[in-house]
Structure 1
Amino acid sequence: MASYGVVTPPPERPLTQAERDLLQSDRPGYGSCSVVEVSFNLVNATVGAGIIGLPFAVYHAGFFIGIAVSVIVAILSQLGLYMLIRAGQRTNIYKFAMLVEYLMGRPGYHFLNFIVFFQAAGACVSYFILVGDTIPVLLTLYFPQYSIFANRSLVIAVISYVFILPLNLSRSIGALARWSILSVLCLPVILLTMLIRAPVYAPEHRAPLTWVGSDIFGALGIMAFAFACSQVAFDNFRSQKDQSSSGWAKSTTLATIMSWFVSMAFAVLGYLSFGVDVQPNLFLNFPNDDPIVNIGRFALGFSMLLTIPMGFYPTREAVQKSLGFETADRQPTKMQHYIVTFVLFTVITAAGIAIRSIGQVYAIVGGFAATTLAYILPAASYLVTRRAVPLEDEAAKKPLLAHDPPTDAASSSSSTSSSSPLPSPSAKDNVAWSDESGTGRAGALMTTRWSWLDMAAVLLIIWGFMVMIFSVSGALRSSK
């Protein structure tokens, strides 16, 4: 089983932050974040715009079935995250697109990049929609003398380039860990304002406690969108200090538990307060001049500002891979990195300004892209790599930095250089894996004995296709 553990640079040549950022974005062995920090990163990527639509999903699924299904969706999403990293450990591949290329050839590589782009960019657009539904409302209410604040498009554009763009300039998603903690800390504020004010409006609405709703699969699409974060799985894994399977299981389990409790507390409270009248964006059910609700609106808008980068990083990575700027043995130059960042950010911001219907974004992006990324591809990767022979990690032997000499398992510990070489973690240069029984070794074929995880992977694929077909078809029918 691949186990990188904690990598500490030798005292004679410590990594600079820029060097660690570059290496961490490319390969395992240079993680700097704790299990808790990575968990908050995953929660921040998970509990984004989708949480606002969960009361709407509970209404369509039925109250009791909605809660039960949410547990299943959360567990399956966590299982998909674990399977994806296990597949990477089996093959020595730690980038989603390259793993799918290994499994499906070059067409699979481009297909995955498209799906990641569709999912992550769609998430960014939904976050921008929520920013547009919250911040301009507050600015107009509390600063009525400035009519410019009523211009939703202008407010989003200014906020985007002044506050959000700087967070997207780093190469590694690990740089967002502390911002993610701040974003997640906004969620209790949002929930508290809902808890205080939603019951006040509850008598005006009917909230039947039904078992089965009118559109279970449409609700599943929204929930898949709300709990999916596979597009940032490898980014977060590479940023974690403890890069063992057990360390990753701890991170994903903790993140899933936190995400589910926060999300479903919001969903249940929202549905019980507004019932059959609940909107895809729950805050649209409240009047604009409620001061306590507006605290929650501000917390939501601020949280979305910090969550947009979590969707932007995988979007940019997919574009860079499609353009050939990022491959197995090279990273984009500074010029390529910044050009892609600025152009892509401008396009996504423009889409977030132009699109207003967050409900359709939930259903289509969740039903198509989220099910593919969270269920189908991780489970398929796990099954196909049951008999995988790990690839030699050639990318790790090629220098990313000007003074980082090529290394291999035999010479990394003994090589000398007059340019003070960067540390090359010896554990990473001799990657081994094992099957779930712990008896495998590098270079051997995996056991053919089926485990419960193999059976779960088969069911995960079936579940993913079922949710995709019914939720997307339902969303397209409702849009006509």
Structure 2
Amino acid sequence: MTSSMGITMTLANSIIGVSVLAMPFCFKQCGIILSIVMLLLSSMLSRYACHYLLKAAIMARRRNFEFLAFHAYGPTGKFLVELCIIGFLMGTCIAFFVVVGDLGPAIVAKTLGVDDSSRLRSSVLVGLALFVVLPLGLLRNVDSLSAISMATIGFYVCLVLKVVVEALPQLLAGDWMEKVHLWRPSGIMQCIPIFSMALSCQTQLFEIYESLYNASLDRMNDVIKAAINMCTGVYICVGFFGYVAFCTQNFTGNILMSFAPTTSSEIFKLGFVLSVAVSFPLVIFPCRASLYSLLFRRAIVYHEGASSHIPENRFKWITIFLVGASLGVGLLIPNIELVLGLVGSTIGVLICVIFPAAAFIRVSPKASSERLAAQAVLFTGVLILFLGTYATLYSASEAASTKLDVPLESGKLLHKGQSGVIKNKLLDKNIAGEVADTLAKAQAAVDPAAAVNNKKPPEELVVPDAKQPAVEVGPPAAEVRREPPVPGARQEPPVPVEPPAAPAEVPVAAPLKAVTAGAPKEEAAPVAAVHMDVAPAAAVEEPPKAEAVAVAGDPGQGQVRAEAAVKVQDKHEESPQRQRVAEDAIRKEDSELAEAQRQADSEKERKEAELLETLARHKQEQEQLLREQKHILHEMKQQHEKLQAAVRTSGVCCVWGMPIK
């Protein structure tokens, strides 16, 4: 058992994640006052959700998500909750590896003077997984991480001080109020996924509760309140001072990338990587429990007082599987940010907001003001689910339509990723600013009016390097790897980048039409493609009818269509069979659960009968002992009376212990 301070630090470490790096971006999008209001509302929502989750578990006498779901919604609810927790937390682990893989190799390459290659990325991830993540993940108790959690919170305090130092020049100048937004509701949709999940810790709540000495609902509420208030203060400080420090720059969602390239900045990047690495166990603990409950359900009895202890061998193998699977996905398939963003904005809200309120409403016996407040939390969670999913899909579509043209000194292109934060636009800000100023001055010298109208931000200027024969062009945004969100303890849905201004239209539609009319059919397609690149989307007209006629006249195409129709028909014929197989599997699972419940009930009845028999036997033994004691007392009384009669007849008396005749 640990003190309340250690438990508070561990819970705070499970709350703070990569979302802290996105706070300046959120303050920029929503304004300072609106962002603070959103963070305060998010803290209230998280506190209420944690309270309802714990109170429902205490009322039902179930101490984890799986048992509580089984008590409230039966085997189906338990199965769905297990799948949601495993998917959500596995996505978080993968997101952690992606974050470390994007930040760590650059730091190691700069420190050791080697090339930043894919082999270095793999080596860094494997090394951290073997020597940091796996040893910490094999710990059984959360209270073993108290010292590490305190060190991590200390790093975030140092990060706040670093951001304050960066903001001092703007604060001392006194003109920062004119450069920032105080209230900007137009950016709220982009930041709802981050604000809603920035303070969530529900998946780690039961592990923390079991480690609390003399645990009770009031003591745990105090711990939750202290941890959430601490994290809210860190978020507000980083967001406010980070926004003020870089209000004159076009920064993105990773505030570390806006720091000047100094030794202290590299130390802070390394510290953030290590803080993410040591936070893995807080995600592995609940994920391991859910996976064990899903795979070995027959070994678990779902009644009051049942133990969730995992045998040693299964404990080790499940931990190794979780670390290895998340590492493998992070190494082989790093570009899965959209899927992870959707998982965080849907399953994360389901587990962290909707399920706690729904479970409390289900377990609560009667209507009350607290039940009404839980219904309000449930409605808010459903609203956040739809708005967060819409914001994630919208940001993905915007990113797919925006091209990133950011060349580096070495000729390579680095990417922006998303994970609740827009990731790593790894561009040297000083060089970009000098290039932008030089071009702006040259353009102003030629035509001042055109220079003002056509001014672009530094990150959109592409300057070729004279030393290199060619400069690579940035890939489309759909192919750019974005950092995935870190749900729960760290999962935040992606933060979209503000799309750049639309380029001015070039009036070339009429000449292209003339060229197209005079060209043969074989050359019409290339000209149309050029027209689509230059003209607006609304002005492009495609000839679908001609293509349809050409396809209809092809006999091979008709055969392909017939084969496709046969495949579709076979698929429709197979679907009822698959449905029957699924129904059989569900019925089999329900029967297994019912059989397990019957076995548990019979075992309980047998133990109760044995207990009653033991109590009856003990009662008989006690009655026999009582009778024997009464008999002994009766004999002693008779002997005492005989002794007194003998004394009277003998005429012997005692005075001060001396016999006198």
Q: Per the shorter chain, which TM-score range? A: 0.7 to 0.9
Contact residue 71 and residue 260 of structure 1 kept, 8 A: yes
Contact residue 74 and residue 227 of structure 1 kept, 8 A: yes
Contact residue 280 and residue 358 of structure 1 kept, 8 A: no
Q: 2:232 and 2:137 mapped to 1: Cα distance?
A: 27
| 2:254 corresponds to which of 281, 286, 305 | 281
| 1:296 corresponds to which of 268, 274, 284 | 268
| 1:134 corresponds to which of 103, 123, 139 | 103
| 1:460 corresponds to which of 342, 366, 377 | 377
Q: 1:149 and 1:86 mapped to 2: Cα distance?
A: 48
Q: Does 1:233 pair with 2:150?
A: no
Write the mapping of 1:255-404 to structure 2, written as runs, cut at 5 A.
Answer: 255-275=227-247, 277-287=250-260, 289-324=261-296, 327-328=300-301, 329=306, 331-354=309-332, 363-387=341-365
Contact residue 192 and residue 387 of structure 2 kept, 8 A: no
Counterpart of 2:70 in structure 1 is: 101
Call closer, same or farther: CA 1:59–1:218 in 2, change over 3 Å. Answer: same
TM-aligned CA deviation for residue 352 of structure 1: 3.2
Q: Does 1:36 pair with 2:20?
A: no
Q: 2:132 and 2:25 mapped to 1: Cα distance?
A: 30
Write the mapping of 1:113-192 to structure 2, written as runs, cut at 5 A.
Answer: 113-145=82-114, 151-192=120-161
Q: 1:190 and 1:146 mapped to 2: Cα distance?
A: 28
Q: 1:465 and 1:123 mapped to 2: Cα distance?
A: 21
Counterpart of 2:60 in structure 1 is: 91
Counterpart of 2:214 in structure 1 is: 242
Counterpart of 2:30 in structure 1 is: 61
Counterpart of 2:368 in structure 1 is: 450
Contact residue 57 and residue 220 of structure 1 kept, 8 A: no
Would you identify which runs of 4 or more consecutive aligned residues in structure 1 move more than 4 Å? 145-150, 198-203, 354-363
TM-score normalised to the size of structure 1?
A: 0.74
Q: 2:394 and 2:215 mapped to 1: Cα distance?
A: 44
Q: Secondary structure at the match of 2:198?
A: helix
Call closer, same or farther: CA 1:361–1:247 in 2, change over 3 Å. Answer: farther
Q: 1:169 and 1:67 mapped to 2: Cα distance?
A: 38
Call closer, same or farther: CA 1:244–1:258 in 2, change over 3 Å. Answer: same
Counterpart of 1:19 in structure 2 is: none
TM-aligned CA deviation for residue 53 of structure 1: 2.3
Counterpart of 1:16 in structure 2 is: none
Aligned partner letter, 2:180: P
Call closer, same or farther: CA 1:271–1:213 in 2, change over 3 Å. Answer: farther
TM-aligned CA deviation for residue 56 of structure 1: 2.8
TM-aligned CA deviation for residue 153 of structure 1: 2.2
Aligned partner letter, 1:226: A
Q: Secondary structure at the match of 1:214?
A: helix
Count, aligned residues: 386
Counterpart of 1:20 in structure 2 is: none
Residues 415-469 of structure 1, C-alpha deviations (whole Å, 9 max, x = no match): xxxxxxxxxxxxxxxxxxxxxxxxxxxxxxxxx3512x32221111111111110
TM-aligned CA deviation for residue 252 of structure 1: 0.6
Residues 369-396 of structure 1, C-alpha deviations (whole Å, 9 max, x = no match): 3322221111112222111xxxxxxxxx
Call closer, same or farther: CA 1:294–1:235 in 2, change over 3 Å. Answer: same
Counterpart of 1:422 in structure 2 is: none
Q: 2:28 and 2:278 mapped to 1: Cα distance?
A: 29
Q: 1:244 and 1:458 mapped to 2: Cα distance?
A: 24
Contact residue 222 and residue 362 of structure 1 kept, 8 A: no
> Bigger relative contact order, structure 1 or 2, given CA contacts below 8 A and separation 6+?
1
Call closer, same or farther: CA 1:114–1:282 in 2, change over 3 Å. Answer: farther
Q: 1:113 and 1:472 mapped to 2: Cα distance?
A: 21
Mean alpha-carbon deviation: is it higher for 51-60 or for 303-312? 51-60
Contact residue 84 and residue 381 of structure 1 kept, 8 A: yes
TM-score normalised to the size of structure 2?
A: 0.54
Q: Which runs of 5+ in 1 are unaligned?
A: 1-31, 388-447
Aligned partner letter, 1:333: P
Q: 2:29 and 2:79 mapped to 1: Cα distance?
A: 35
Contact residue 105 and residue 116 of structure 2 kept, 8 A: no
* Larger Rg belongs to: 2
Call closer, same or farther: CA 1:293–1:357 in 2, change over 3 Å. Answer: farther
Q: 2:377 and 2:79 mapped to 1: Cα distance?
A: 23
Q: 2:349 and 2:241 mapped to 1: Cα distance?
A: 26
TM-aligned CA deviation for residue 134 of structure 1: 3.0
Contact residue 190 and residue 395 of structure 2 kept, 8 A: no
Q: 1:286 and 1:124 mapped to 2: Cα distance?
A: 27
